[in-house]
Chains A and B, each alone.
Chain A
Amino acid sequence: MDAIRIPAPAELDALDDEHFRQVVRAFLHENYPDDLRNPPKRLHWDENRPWYMKLAERGWLCPGWPKEHGGLGLSPAKQIILTEEYERYGVARTNDHGIVMLGPLVIKYGTEEQKQRFLPKILTGEHIWCQGYSEPNAGSDLAALRTEAVLDGDEYVVNGQKIWTTLATDANWIFLLVRTDKQAKKQEGISFLLVDMKTPGIIIRPIINLEMHDEFCEVFFDNVRVPAANLVGQLNKGWDMAKALLGFERIFLGSPRQSGYALSRLNILAERMGVWEDAEFQDRYARLRLEFEDLKALYGTFVEKLKRGESLGPDVSMLKIIQTELFQKITDTMLEIAGENAGLLEPMEGNRDLNIGGLFIQARPATIYGGSNEIQRNILAKNVLGLPG
């Protein structure tokens, strides 16, 4: 594996798929910190900074950005390969909102000045972004958001509250969906605004989740003054822009990897608990395993679509539902066979592969975030099956 030469970033997109896969493997082997493989929790900036900076230094930070803006310019098909290999290696997610969300948005809708100002600082790790979309009363019904921005001279004055802001305590910039027209239909009065977190009037309060982790935050805005030049795209078009940005990456919410990881841990636990001889368990395991294999096959059909250069339709929602519900069924089964060990706060016997309760808890939000599974079913019903209402 070490014999593989890693080409310059600009050459990566031209490699054939299999060669590219080998290069990614070699790259990870060479550069990824061993102690960060398969972390049990979402890492904070101080923990994953070395990896982020390594990616930045090697020019690998932004796989989907065009080369002219410092990205790798990879096709969706290659980005999927990259992600598959990262997942296989157990690579932790970085503080990636600038890379995945903001950068592409600025590239698509930003002014030349905004591109010059923001993109290079994502690439150097100077700006770490977080996403201010959800609000206490605008979750699944995101368009009901009420945090408002009122123009006062050449500044917007922002008041309101965001919630579920991932890793806000790590970030120095936040991108917001704000209400700029209260009279318009709810989707048509929303704008996209970039805010320096050091601006007076911003308070961040971490929320401890069921994992006993503080990855989510509440962010409060009290008369926060933001230069009007920080508005991206047209006024009141923020909703459409944010929606247009939901591209092929939606496929990753349905990546079978989470379930594959959980299934192999169930395997290990079953061995440890001595339940393999139990015919009922065998059949349960077989059902989970087959669901996993069929999910992989279905996922593969969507990947093939992308490889043919087609875009994804609303039916990609199926993957998210099937994957996350399978993940939960697997961790349910772990609890059921673990006896009293199910209730342990720490991994059983100090073995990270036997993190029974931890994995079960981690599976809970999977059916909630990224559009709850109920919302995904609404999407299937209306946009795929054509049901009315």
Chain B
Amino acid sequence: MSAALSGEDRAESIRMIRDSAAAVAPPGGDMKRVRELRFQTPGFDPAVLRQTGEMGWIGLRLPDAAGGAGLGLGEACALAEELGGALVPEPLIPAMLSASLLAAVGAGPLERVLTGEALVLTAWQERPDTLEVPGSPDAPRRFLPMAAGAASFLLPVREGGRIALYEQQAGAGLTTEQTQDGGHVGTLEPNLGTATRIADDIGEALSLALDEAALLTSAYLLGGMDRAFAMTLDYLKTRQQFGKIIGTFQALQHKAADVRMQIALTRASIEAAAATIDDGASGDARRAVISRAKARAASSSMLVTRECIQLHGGIGYTDQYDVGLYLRKAMVMANLYGSAALHRRRFMAVAPEVEE
């Protein structure tokens, strides 16, 4: 379905997704729910995760036959952007990653993942800042987002030249560390003795799914920076010093213009990546546009949220004021699924020569 959409139909479909996102991420909604979940366990609301399942978001990208909505990356990025604007803490992107893996192999707890009944996390990562999946049977799996709320974990394990997939139920072997945004990450000790083997070879599916998660993370960051900047603009138009609205000062105006340009470049980069892939790009071409978008989003989200704090002055440094929530979210998410530096290196490795 997604491949067949014309430009206009795609735009309409993206508008519908944005509207429907309001169910969980109301535009201009307050941060009460987000604040209440901070530094709690599991750090998100399982009922809201189920709601996202009912909305069909977890399976947004999966074909109809696999119980999904069959939509494109354009729609998925629009959704992630809306969630990012509202700082929705439910780990939708990791859930989508697991869903796409399970759909690719046609086995395991796919249905429970799609409905949001169970949070199933893919425990692929063995070290910081990587997209590689060594699949070491005994290596602790790191940086599992919201792991305390997971029902089970999917473990990629190298067997000969292939990466098999196991499911390990939650329980023993999990430790967690809090993160700046009020969530946490887990480290899991694999225990293959108790795990169920569910697929023989998921290497290719996992690498596609990780790339997609990188792009969705970029879109989530875009939503956050856009919203943080909107708050900042409001502030610039109301706060007075020296008897003037501070937004009249050219030093601040030019800073604001620079922030606006970063956001525009980020949006152009992400939307171009989504459209390129929805139009059928694969292999290096797919990796190149995703790395481009993620490199941009990672660096601009930090730049934008930093500048938003600066433009607010002292009030921006208080925990009570919401703009700080966006900075802390960017600190946690900017490096997920590869830092800016990692993606710049990967872009250079896979991108064609510059076209004059």
| B257 / chain A contacts, CB cutoff of 8 Å | 321, 376-377, 380-381, 384-385
Given contacts A257-B356, A322-B261, contact A289 B348 (CB under 8 A): yes
B348 pairs with A387, CB closer than 8 A: no
| A378 / chain B contacts, CB cutoff of 8 Å | 250, 253-254
| B261 / chain A contacts, CB cutoff of 8 Å | 318, 321-322, 380
Number of A-B contacts (CB under 8 A): 112
Interface residues of B in 207-241 (CB under 8 A from A): 233, 236-237
| B296 / chain A contacts, CB cutoff of 8 Å | 290, 294
Instruction: Name the residue on A nearest B344 (C-beta).
Output: A286
CA gap between A289 and B348 in the complex, in Å = 9
CA gap between A321 and B265 in the complex, in Å = 12
| A346 / chain B contacts, CB cutoff of 8 Å | none
B245 pairs with A290, CB closer than 8 A: no
CA gap between A294 and B356 in the complex, in Å = 14
B248 at the interface (CB under 8 A from A): yes
Instruction: Name the residue on B nearest A387 (C-beta).
Output: B247
CA gap between A234 and B42 in the complex, in Å = 71
A290 pairs with B292, CB closer than 8 A: yes
Most chain A CB within 10 A, of B249, B254, B268, is at B268
A385 pairs with B256, CB closer than 8 A: yes
CA gap between A389 and B248 in the complex, in Å = 5
Q: Mark B313-337, 1 if CB is under 8 A from A, else 0.
A: 0000000000000000000000000
A388 pairs with B265, CB closer than 8 A: no
| B351 / chain A contacts, CB cutoff of 8 Å | 289, 293
Q: Tell me what chain B mostly uses at the interface: helix, strand, loop, or mixed.
A: helix
Instruction: Name the residue on B nearest A284 (C-beta).
Output: B344
B341 at the interface (CB under 8 A from A): yes
Partner of B236, one of A289, A292, A377, A387: A387
Given contacts A295-B265, A387-B247, contact A289 B354 (CB under 8 A): yes
CA gap between A165 and B261 in the complex, in Å = 31
| B292 / chain A contacts, CB cutoff of 8 Å | 290, 293-294
Q: Mark A279-320, 1 if CB is under 8 A from B, else 0.
A: 000110111011111110110110000000000000100100
A267 at the interface (CB under 8 A from B): yes
CB distance from A288 to the nearest CB of B (A): 9
B295 at the interface (CB under 8 A from A): yes
B268 pairs with A300, CB closer than 8 A: yes
A88 at the interface (CB under 8 A from B): yes
A374 at the interface (CB under 8 A from B): yes
Instruction: Name the residue on A nearest B351 (C-beta).
Output: A289
A260 at the interface (CB under 8 A from B): yes
B253 pairs with A260, CB closer than 8 A: no
Instruction: Name the residue on B nearest A389 (C-beta).
Output: B248
Interface residues of B in 164-194 (CB under 8 A from A): none
B253 pairs with A290, CB closer than 8 A: no
Given contacts A260-B355, A297-B272, contact A388 B247 (CB under 8 A): yes
Q: Tell me what chain A mostly uses at the interface: helix, strand, loop, or mixed.
A: helix
Count, chain A residues at interface, CB 8 A: 40
CA gap between A267 and B353 in the complex, in Å = 9
A290 pairs with B356, CB closer than 8 A: no
| A388 / chain B contacts, CB cutoff of 8 Å | 237, 245, 247-248
A359 at the interface (CB under 8 A from B): no
CB distance from B347 to the nearest CB of A (A): 6
Instruction: Name the residue on B nearest A265 (C-beta).
Output: B356
B265 pairs with A322, CB closer than 8 A: yes
Partner of B248, one of A297, A377, A385, A387: A387
| B341 / chain A contacts, CB cutoff of 8 Å | 283
| B250 / chain A contacts, CB cutoff of 8 Å | 378, 381
CB distance from B129 to the nearest CB of A (A): 14
Partner of B233, one of A282, A318, A386: A386
| A257 / chain B contacts, CB cutoff of 8 Å | 356
CA gap between A287 and B254 in the complex, in Å = 22
Instruction: Name the residue on A nearest B273 (C-beta).
Output: A297
Instruction: Name the residue on B nearest A374 (C-beta).
Output: B254
CB distance from A157 to the nearest CB of B (A): 39
| A374 / chain B contacts, CB cutoff of 8 Å | 254
CA gap between A218 and B233 in the complex, in Å = 43
CB distance from B342 to the nearest CB of A (A): 11
A31 at the interface (CB under 8 A from B): no
CB distance from B280 to the nearest CB of A (A): 18
| B264 / chain A contacts, CB cutoff of 8 Å | 298, 315, 318
| B247 / chain A contacts, CB cutoff of 8 Å | 381, 387-389
A290 pairs with B236, CB closer than 8 A: no
CB distance from A356 to the nearest CB of B (A): 18
CA gap between A350 and B256 in the complex, in Å = 44
B127 at the interface (CB under 8 A from A): no
Partner of A264, one of B233, B252, B295, B354: B354
Between A and B, 19 residue pairs with Cβ closer than 8 Å are A88-B356, A263-B356, A283-B341, A286-B348, A290-B347, A293-B292, A297-B265, A297-B269, A322-B265, A378-B253, A381-B247, A381-B256, A384-B257, A384-B260, A385-B256, A387-B236, A387-B247, A388-B237, A389-B247
- 9 more A-B contacts (CB under 8 A) besides A261-B356, A381-B253? A88-B356, A283-B341, A285-B348, A290-B295, A301-B271, A315-B264, A318-B260, A321-B261, A381-B254
Counting from the closest, the 8 A-B pairs by CB-CB distance are A389-B248, A381-B253, A298-B268, A380-B257, A297-B272, A297-B268, A286-B344, A387-B247
